Each structure stands twice: as structure tokens, then as C-alpha cells.
Amino acid sequence: MTKDAILASIRRGLRRGPLPADQRAMLDGRLATHPRHLIPARSRVPRPEQVALFIHNVEKEFGTVDRVTDAADIPAAVAEYLASQNLPPRVVMAPHPELQALPWAGKPLLDVEARRAEATDAVSVQHGYAAIAETGTLMLPSDPARPTTLNVLAETEIVVLRTSRIHGAYEEAWDTLRRERTDPITGGFMPRNVMLVTGPSRSADIEQTLELGAHGPRRLHIILLDDDPAALPGA
Amino acid sequence: MVEITSPAFKENAARALSDPGLQKALGKAKGAFLQRRAEAVSRLPEFEQLRDIGRDIKNHTIANLDFYLETFAANVERAGGTVHWCSTAEDARAAVLEICRNAGAKTVTKGKSMISEEIAVNDHLEKHGITPVETDLGEYIIQLRREHPSHIIAPAFHLNREDWEADFRRMHTDLDPNRVFNERRDILAEARTKLRSRFLAADVGITGANFLIAETGSSVIVTNEGNGDLTQTLPRVHIALASIEKVVPTLEDATSLLRLLARSATGQDFSVYTTFSTGARRPADLDGPEEYHVVLIDNGRSNMIGSDFQEMLRCIRCAACMNHCPVYGVTGGHAYGWVYPGPMGSVLTPSLVGIDKTALLPNASTFCGKCESVCPVKIPLPGLMRHWREREFERHLTPRAVRRNLGLWAWFAKRPGLYRAVTRTAMAALSWLSRGKGAFTSLPLAGGWTAGRDLPAPEPGGTFMARYAKMQRGR
């Protein structure tokens, strides 16, 4: 079998046979404990500074951020953003309970459909699972309530994120996913797809000069809900 | 495999040097990469420590590669995916074709993947009636031009804006021939529109993999455009192509390497889309592929383990080495004559296709050492190129004139008194001939050197040995 031939060739190069049981156990232990390596100091700061770092990095990467203190204000924030960008008041939204519970009825002119995205959708509203301050990165794991197409098909993506879900480093966000999620197929934690998104889509393939809006969203707008008293400015 | 023109490196390079379009593109592009990388590195004080960590993670993985590959494959299968183990490029092409046929595929979208170039999968699919569509912007124009990438992360590194406009006019014949491209953005918008329908129509999506994660059975892609995500999300079947050295143990290991990758490659702190794929669509999911395949390719890597070139398996394909290489900077990537150009290619290509056809590549280096100093996983590239030069010499592949001159040099070098006298005389003669000019543009008996570059004239103050002796006396 090809698999055996490849493994045999690797072992020939390593000048050994299959690993003995004790060494396998050691490597299994490393997988189970998944030790962290160096975590850069830049994100190891108090909560308000972590949130500020996140916002700074999103903006550095051409994303935009709006901050609201009451979840009830989110539909208005979405409507205002669309108006400010001259976009039609129509969005495809993740069928996530937190988003569906928002008072959309208060914005009757805003057409909201909860489903996966199609090619004709101009604006998507996604549920932000977590974020990483270190580089201004969103963590968007796939889920029936968080379809992947919302991240890639629309020209404009709006992500609703709670400040309590902003982590310092990637490793902390991975641990949150490990703790919170159980996969229906594997029993592990990884969903089919995890996207780490840092800013809107871009390409520098033409003369190594940056242009925004390649194949994915041209605009990435984050509505940040302040749900973490410890993360408020001056806290 | 892709046709190889590495034996003609000298002719390729000479042609590149006299190609004004290429020289313009290279001149424009190079500075941008260097500056952006330097800025990204300066923003992260821990970067040097991370390089050591990156090296150690990869070394640990290669030392236990059999274990991590088996673990990876078991976890892919646990998530409902399929792993296809392939020893050769031919095996890999056959595996991809079979998956596409089983899916009844007519068109296949592709994310950028260097291993797909290495196994020449596009030609194979086309030959069997399946249309592959490259969706990375750079790869898209390369496919329109029926060329190969000239750079491992910027495939269209060798092209100017005029080339893009001309090719789009030539190929997109359904559009108004008199349309105006005012800005680069207009070119991008046209490609976006053209490719959108391709994404929606494709039956299979093929991507590469920057990493495979043993712990979770995931394949990871890193892109800025989002084309890779459209490729692996919309079609019914996703195939990830990956060579065996892409595996790392855990998410934490991949995360540390990701901190190095984008900074070294494009000078971004992090790429726009870093995506982890694990198995196919879950029962209640509203989107995502129904099948997930990993085509795991050896194609010569396992033979590098235990050889002088094992360290090359650490490479994470960031392209920092070629971005900083003075040779790549003037010849561009096509001169190297195979899939992987620049310093990493000069080490890897001989390992994968043999030194007999590629002996010129490890010689196409000034050994300035810049590649090693920027490598995120500290591959000693000049040292590995030197190993290849030794192999070349041992196997009598070195041209006769070079061997004769090396012999002559060795004869003098073993006689230090004579050597010093001769070099002293030669330096004095060259100084006199140069008459105060800094360099020679032509020189009798050295036409082979001065045809492609200037020969620096000796600096005043005598030979190294003369200056050293003087310094010793002055102490």
C-alpha cells in the first residue's frame, strides 16, 4: 500500500522503525496538552487596552468598528451603516439566536432574512464568535447558526461581536473553542470550518499594489456590543 | 511534471536581463516586499525568538513525521474525510482525476497551490475533459497566458499593468473592446465579475494547504483575496492538495508558524483569511462541501529525510528568500526553469528532480547570506546550496573549464608565498588598469563575467594579506 511505502521511506530516512510505545505515548501527551509557545507581549494588557488594541488593528487593516452599549441598538446601527454607505436596506443574517432575538421589528424598512448567503446578497450580518486583539482578527467557526457563505459571498459583511469575546492571543480563542464546542461528528471541538478574518478581502497581485475587494467582501464592518464592564474604557 | 528548463539557466537569465518589461516589473515589485516585511518585523519584538520556535516545531515534526501523518489521517477520517496517500506526482494526478470523475465534474475551481503546479494537475484534468479554473488573481492571468508562476506567493510578479490590460482585452472578448481601465481597481473588478460565475458553477474546488494539523485533522489555507474560501465552500467536493511535510502537531504549533508566515511573506501581521477545514459539511450545516478529500503527496520528500537536505523540509513557502535575493531580483522566477525559484528553489529543485539537470541553480547565488538571515524557520540555504555544489563536483557535473580553473587556483593556494606575490601583482595591474574608476564594464579574458555585470576594481590599500600584515605591525 502507498501509505505503508511512504511511512517506510520516512522511517528509513529517520533510521528507525515504527516509534516504540513509550515515545508514541509521549507524543500523544503532547497532542493532548497542546502546549503553548511564546505569546507576544503586545496583547497581554488590561481588558480595556485589549479592546482598544483590537479596534486599532481592525482599522489598520481597513475594517471599520462601531460601538454600542445596548443590544437593542444593533438594528439601528446596521440601518445607519447601510445608509452611510448608500447600500440598500436589505441583509442576509446568520440564523443565530442572539441575532434573531434583536428588535429588528423596530426597523421596518430594513429587510432581514436569516439563512445562508447566495450570490445575489449584497450585505451579510454574521455572528462574531470570538476575536483576537493581537492582530484585529475575527474567529468565525462554521455552525448551522453561523453559515460560512456569509463570510465570503456578500460585498459587505457586518459582524456583531461582544467585547467579552475579544481575546488577547489566538491561543486563548482556541481554548475557548475547545471548551465550548462539541462536534456532532467527531466528538472533538473543531467544526467543519474556522475562518480567522482580518480586514476586508484584498489583492496585491497587480504590480504588488494593494487593492481592496478581490473575491470576498469589499467592506468589513464590526458592531461591537459592550457587554463586559471590565473592558469599558477607563475600567 | 512541469517541463524543466533549468539546464538553460544561463540563457534564461541572459534573456531576462535584456527584457525591459520584466526588469520594470522586478524593479517595481521588489522594494515593496522588502519594506513591508521589515516594518512588520519591527512591530513584533519577539520575531527573532519566534524564528527559533518555528525551526524547533518543524524539526520536532520531521523527526516524528510518520507518527504525525498517521495521526492526521486518522483524524481526517474521524471527521468524515478521505486521505489519499500518493508517492508520486502521477499518483496524485490520478487521485484528483478519480475524485473529479466520481463527482461528475465538468469544471473545477482552484485556489493557489504550488504543489498543484509541481504535479501539473491542470494539464491532466484538461486532457481528460475537465476544465480547471484558477481563481487567485495572479494565477488567473497566468492561466490566461498559459504560463507558470514566476514567484511562489505572487504568481504574476513578472507582469506590468499594461500586460494585465492587454490580456484581459484579448481573453474577455464578450466585453466592450473599448472599455477603459483607469485604475488597477478596474482590472480587479473585471476579474471579480468574471470569476464569480465560475465559483458558482464549479463541481469541485481544489486548494493547497499551508499546514495540516495532526491534532484535529484540519487543512489550513492562507489567502488575502477570499478566493480559496469560495473555492472550498461552494462546490460539492473539496480537495486539499498537500505535501507530507506540511503537517504540524497542534493548533498552537500552527499558530506560532502563522505568526511568522504572513510577516515574512507579504509583510502583513496576519493574512486576511486563515481558514481551517476539518471534514465535510455537518448534518445541520446550511453550507459547505459534502465531500472532503486530502491528497497527501510525497513526490521525493521522504528521500530528503536523513540526507544533507532534510532541513529544507522546514520551508513554509513564504518567499522571503527570493524577495531578498539579488539573483532572483534581476532574473525573475522563470529563469530558474522549474516550479520553485529563488534560493529555496535552488535547494529544493535538485532534491526533487535531480542535480544532473539543475546543477546551475545552486551556483546561481552570490552567497550573500540574506536568504538565511530572513528565513522564518532558519533554513541554512547557502550551506545547503554549497552541499549541492559539492555533489555537483563529486559527480563530475561541473564544466571542464571551471574544474580546470579551480585546480589552478588550488595549486597556487597551496603555495602561500607564491599566491600572495601573484595576487599582489594582479591587484596592482587591475588598479592601474582601472585608472581610478570604481568598476570594469569590460575586461580582456573576463568577458564571461563582465557581460552580465561589472567587475569591481580593487580598493586602494593593497590585498587583504597586505593590510592584515600592516595592521599586525601597528599593534
Q: Average of pLDDT values for A215-224?
A: 96
Nearest to A214 by CA among B163, B22, B404, B137: B137
Q: Nearest residue on chain A to B32, judged by CA atoms?
A: A208
Q: What is the pLDDT of residue B470?
A: 87
Run of H or E residues at B423? helix B416-434
> Would you call A172 an interface residue with chain B, using a CB distance cutoff of 8 Å?
no
Q: What is the pLDDT of residue B1?
A: 53
Q: What is the pLDDT of residue A180?
A: 98
Tell me whether residues B230 and A213 touch, CB distance under 8 A: no
Look-up of cell digits 480567522: A196
Tell me whether residues B279 and A15 touch, CB distance under 8 A: no
Chain B residue numbers touching A151 (CB-CB < 8 A): 229
Q: Average of pLDDT values for A120-145?
A: 98
Tell me whether residues B53 and A61 touch, CB distance under 8 A: no
Q: What is the pLDDT of residue B447?
A: 74
State whether residue B204 is helix, strand or coil.
Answer: strand
Q: How far is CA B210 from the centre of its chain?
A: 13
Chain B residue numbers touching A194 (CB-CB < 8 A): 275-276, 278
Distance CA B303, CA B13 (A): 30
Tell me whether residues A193 and B45 touch, CB distance under 8 A: no
Look-up of cell digits 516504540: A20
> Which residues, in sequence order, are bridge partners of residue A68?
A225
Please give the torsion angle defined by the CA atoms of residues B160, B161, B167 and B171, in that order, rounded to the nearest 10 degrees.
Answer: 150
At A157, which amino acid appears? E
Q: What is the pLDDT of residue A233?
A: 81
Q: Which domains does chain A have, with CATH numbers?
A: 1-35 (no CATH), 42-231 (3.40.50.10420)
Q: Report CA-CA distances (Å) from B418 to A125, B409, B413, B415, B468.
A: 80, 12, 8, 6, 17
pLDDT band at A89 (very low <50, low <70, confident <90, very high): very high
The pLDDT tens digits of the residues spanning A53-63 come to: 999 999 999 99
Q: Between these two residues, A123 and B438, which has the higher pLDDT value?
A: A123
For residue A71, the distance in angstroms to the closest alpha carbon of chain B comes to 26
Distance CA B11, CA B331 (A): 11
Contacting residues for B293 by C-beta, under 8 A, at least 6 apart: B81, B82, B83, B84, B99, B237, B238, B239, B240
Please give the torsion angle defined by the CA atoms of residues B164, B168, B169 and B174, in that order, rounded to the nearest 10 degrees.
Answer: -170
Phi-psi sector, A110: left (phi>0), alpha (psi -120 to 50), beta: beta
Which is it for strands A90-93 and A111-114: parallel, antiparallel or unpaired? parallel
Cβ–Cβ < 8 Å for A52, A234: no
Q: Which domains does chain B have, with CATH numbers?
A: 20-47+54-248+257-300 (3.40.50.10420), 415-474 (no CATH)
Task: Enumerate residues 20 to 49 of chain B having a beta carbon within 8 A of any beta carbon in chain A.
Answer: 25, 28-29, 32-33, 44-46, 49
Cβ–Cβ < 8 Å for A222, A128: yes
> Would you call B280 an interface residue with chain A, using a CB distance cutoff of 8 Å?
yes
Residue A165, CB half-sphere, CA atoms under 13 Å: how many? 19
Contacting residues for B157 by C-beta, under 8 A, at least 6 apart: A208, B25, B26, B29, B138, B149, B150, B151, B332, B333
Q: What is the pLDDT of residue B3?
A: 84
For residue A151, the distance in angstroms to the closest alpha carbon of chain B comes to 9
> Would you call B345 an interface residue with chain A, using a CB distance cutoff of 8 Å?
no
> Would you call B82 an interface residue with chain A, using a CB distance cutoff of 8 Å?
no
> In this complex, which of A3, A142, A199 lies closest to B85 when CB atoms are compared?
A3
> In this complex, which of B67, B78, B227 lies closest to A24 when CB atoms are compared?
B67
DSSP B316: -
Residues of chain B scoring pLDDT < 70: 1
Cβ–Cβ < 8 Å for A163, A157: no
Cβ–Cβ < 8 Å for B136, B198: no
A-to-B residue pairs, Cβ atoms closer than 8 angstroms = 285
> Which residues, in sequence order, are bridge partners of residue A99?
none
Average pLDDT of chain A is 96
Tell me whether residues B250 and A116 touch, CB distance under 8 A: no
Q: Nearest residue on chain A to B258, judged by CA atoms?
A: A170
DSSP A73: G
Distance CA B411, CA A57 (A): 62
Q: What is the pLDDT of residue B473?
A: 87
ipTM attached to this prediction: 0.98
> Would you call B187 an interface residue with chain A, using a CB distance cutoff of 8 Å?
yes
Distance CA A13, CA B309 (A): 11
Q: What is the pLDDT of residue B403?
A: 87
Rg (CA), chain B: 25
